[in-house]
Amino acid sequence: MKKLFVVFTVLTVLAACFSSASYADAAANYFEPVYNADNWTVNASEKFTFDNTAKSVITNGKDIKKATYNDS
């Protein structure tokens, strides 16, 4: 009985590994915006720094900021 439990546990872990790999492959097709300032409409341009290399938008200050991506 103990061997049967171990076999099913190993098979379950193995199946979980394969399913997460397929989810990762499917996630490669998700939408990712371009991080150039020209592609964004912002409410206060001096509070935003767009870094296309690092794929990030950095904000300054603690007030509420709004950025809208222009492309679909």
Q: Which residues contact 36 (CB under 8 A, 6 or more apart)?
A: 50, 52
Query: Residue 48 forms beta bridges with which residues?
Result: 59
Mean pLDDT confidence for 55-71:
80
Pairing of strands 40-42, 67-69: antiparallel
Of 51, 17, 24, residue with least CA distance to 37? 51
The whole-model pTM stands at: 0.45
pLDDT tens for 15-47 read 776 655 555 555 566 667 778 888 888 877 677
pLDDT tops 60 at residue 56 = yes
Q: What is the pLDDT of residue 47?
A: 78
Side-chain-side CA neighbours of residue 51 (13 Å): 8
Token pair 């200050």 in the structure block, residue = 61
Tell me what the pLDDT averaged over the chain comes to: 75
Q: Residue 60 — very low, low, confident or very high, per pLDDT cuts 50/70/90?
A: confident
